[in-house]
A and B are shown apart, each in its own frame.
Chain A
């Protein structure tokens, strides 16, 4: 099956006008031309690796809509639409919902005041859905979604505000491998990860690598696309049988996102 991704061009991604995570500094300028170039570079790498990319229209006044990973959780033909905690991102919900509905997805909504930020906080490894909580997503949303979709959900508590979404510190790869940054999780989450992922399948990121958003990577089969990272990590990935592809996504890191945040897996 072809890996299919939703992306949204950074047409209105220019300045940081609000602060909703520790990466954002109000007033920081983002180079729009560079952003568009790098976004296209990411898109082209995905296509070159056999992936399919579909796009939605950007919206003025919604710079973060470029981070489509937060649109929804996709499971088979169902899309569980996000309910953003920061009010600044809540207007994005309707645009994501409209687009996904047009693509034929059945839409599901969470109860009001139950926060959930889509595939940014919910990542499959095999049949199990791992979901982050505390900073952006409420753990009650995990139970709701598990019941709604008849899924096994493992809840992982995030304890470092810099890694505010699960996809900033936890990246399941094909065949049960995982890149992750242990210090982003509480001790219980670390025990779960160590139990669920055998040591030889776990690739531990250093703090420097994690702060370079190495865990915010796009995985297609045995390829991993990420922001520029260290030789150490690329070598370890190589030893495990994965090829690394780097894109300089510095402009997007100013808003707290990188490769994975810029994509939503649809298949």
Chain B
């Protein structure tokens, strides 16, 4: 892995434009010797050439020769077919679509003063999952309940299962999907 390649990645990231204006999205990941073999560079070039835009969501560099590097890239497109063709084409570099698993939970009670809400959010981040607080209501009076609805996302089913088990012990309930 060279600094030039890292800079190239950053450059492509900066060129990637406004992700929110694109309707179709997919996340891919690739792992292994992705820098020295220029696989990451090839993937990023092909994304840009296709007219899609991307953002590198995660980048890990193997610290020793035998250690894999890893990249997770979110791709967006204005067109379903363009995105599908691109994803198919990227497979030749070993880039595979990542399945995002999402579950939504609700929690209510004295969750602010008991730090239960903070604890749940910390659990999510500490497990490398992501979350979106979709709704929050703070009790105005001392005895009023507070409420939060949180969407949790991760790429790993085991992480999600472990996380939900812990969060449910904190009083959260799963929202039916």
Contact = CB atoms under 8 A, between A and B. Distances in A.
Interface string B140-162: 00110100000000000000000
A147 interface: yes
Contacts of A138: 171
A237 interface: no
A192 interface: yes
Contact of A139 (B116, B143, B145): B116
B145 to A, nearest CB: 7
Contact of B109 (A143, A150, A156, A157): A143
Do most interface residues of chain B lie in helix, strand or loop, or is the interface mixed?
loop
A192 B113 contact: yes
Interface residues of B, number: 15
Given A139-B170, A139-B171, A143-B171, A152 B115 contact: no
A152 B143 contact: yes
Contacts, number: 52
B119 A188 contact: yes
A94 B116 CA distance: 33
A12 B145 CA distance: 43
Contacts of B118: 188
A153 B116 CA distance: 12
A156 to B, nearest CB: 8
A143 B115 contact: no
Residue with the greatest number of chain B CB neighbours at <10 A, chosen from A140, A147, A154, A192: A140
9 contacts: A139-B170, A146-B110, A146-B143, A151-B143, A152-B110, A152-B142, A152-B143, A154-B110, A155-B110
Interface of B: 108-110, 113-116, 118-119, 142-143, 145, 169-171
Interface of A: 134, 138-140, 142-143, 146-147, 150-157, 186, 188-189, 191-192
